[in-house]
Amino acid sequence: MPTRTLPGTDLDVHPLCLGGNVFGWTADAGQSFALLDDYADAGGNFVDTADSYMWRVPGNSGGESERIIGDWMAARGNRDRMVLATKVGSWPERPGLSGANITAAVQDSLRRLRTDRIDLYYAHRDDPDTPLEETVAAFDALVRAGTVRYVAASNYEAPRLAEALDIAERNGLARFVALQPHYNLVERDYELGLGPLLAQRGLSCLPYYGLAKGFLSGKYAADTNVESVRSDAAREYLDQRGRRVLAALAEVAAAHRVAPAAVALAWLADRHTVSTPIASARTREQLAELLAMTGLALSADESAELTAASEPVAGPDPT
């Protein structure tokens, strides 16, 4: 399976990053192991999680996803072939991006993941209460110690991301090599400010919610009931523009004999600055549909058709 090297790193990753946000939530440990096995068997090697996954779920306290991934790697003996990404800063047990919290949180994550290093460590979200200098220095210390190979950011606005990059470069510290933003066919604000910044500064984009909480899977329609914990959130996209996007996805998917989800991810993977989209699956069947994106090459006309369908609707939406 062809891999992609994340710019500014020596990390060679699969074209699809498997999101671990469902592990310990809609997929229990056994189901998660099966998903991870299928992904690895298909050549997958890039898994994304966070210390906060999934503390909001009743009965959970946080760290469940990391524990499942750590147990799976230990059981399979495959840590060295996996590229492991996790995050710090949004879990109430370890909130914020102070130097002390980052130093403590990474050790907690390492224990849960049953490893001695993290390949890509994200600031999960900006922390306006902590000076960026302190956050950048704390991440740099982890890189110098070998605990973390590379650092990245998630949910940062362009001005703060640029400032963090400037601080790192000015002081010779490890800088963010990637950004994980909310970006997909129906969420395109990234293109306005963050996209140009990443292109200018040479960062990778690894977008989350690549399927818009499942909406771009094509299973949502006005008269269709979908059993999913995300169904209400996904249905928020079911307006005039959303229907137009679904119609375009269905047309392209039919031409290639793949699921609409694979087309949505292939479109995202082709966007400027995007290295690897992130998507999660609750079932093995869903994962198989997503993995079809790795062999899917959209034509210029198909990509343009999808882009045009997802442009904002002019004037009030009649639906």
Structural domain contains residue 258? no
Residue-level pLDDT at 318: 46
Structural domain contains residue 68? yes
User: Which CATH number characterizes residue 11's domain?
Assistant: 3.20.20.100
3-state secondary structure of 71: helix
Structural domain contains residue 136? yes
Q: How many domains does the chain have?
A: 1
pLDDT in tens, 110-147: 999 999 999 999 999 999 999 999 999 999 999 999 99
Structural domain contains residue 200? no
Give per-residue burial for 100-115: e unless 16+ CB within 10 Å, then b: ebbeebbebbbebbbb
User: Of 53, 122, 190, 209, which is the active-site residue?
Assistant: 53
Residue-level pLDDT at 224: 56
pLDDT in tens, 282-301: 999 999 999 999 999 999 99
Structural domain contains residue 164? yes
Residue-level pLDDT at 55: 87
Report the Cα 186 to chain-centroid distance in Å. Answer: 16
Residue-level pLDDT at 218: 87
Q: What percent of the chain has pLDDT over 70?
A: 93
Structural domain contains residue 35? yes
Range of the domain at 18: 4-180
DSSP 183-209: -BTTB-GGGTTHHHHHHHHT-EE--B-
Residue-level pLDDT at 7: 94
Residue-level pLDDT at 319: 47
Q: What are the residue ranges in the chain where pLDDT is below 50?
A: 318-319
Structural domain contains residue 168? yes
Residue-level pLDDT at 313: 66
pTM of the model: 0.93
Q: ∠ CA(88), CA(89), CA(93), 5° rounding? A: 95
Residue-level pLDDT at 220: 76
DSSP 277-318: -EE--SSHHHHHHHHGGGG----HHHHHHHHHHTSPPSS---
For 153, phi then psi, to 5°, come to -125, 155
For residues 134 and 171, give the distance between their C-alpha atoms in angstroms, rounded to a whole number: 12
Element (H, E) at 104: helix 99-113
Are the C-beta atoms of residues 317 and 237 closer than 8 Å to each other?
no
Residue-level pLDDT at 229: 54
Residue 209 is among the residues annotated as catalytic for this protein: no
Are the C-beta atoms of residues 318 and 282 closer than 8 Å to each other?
no
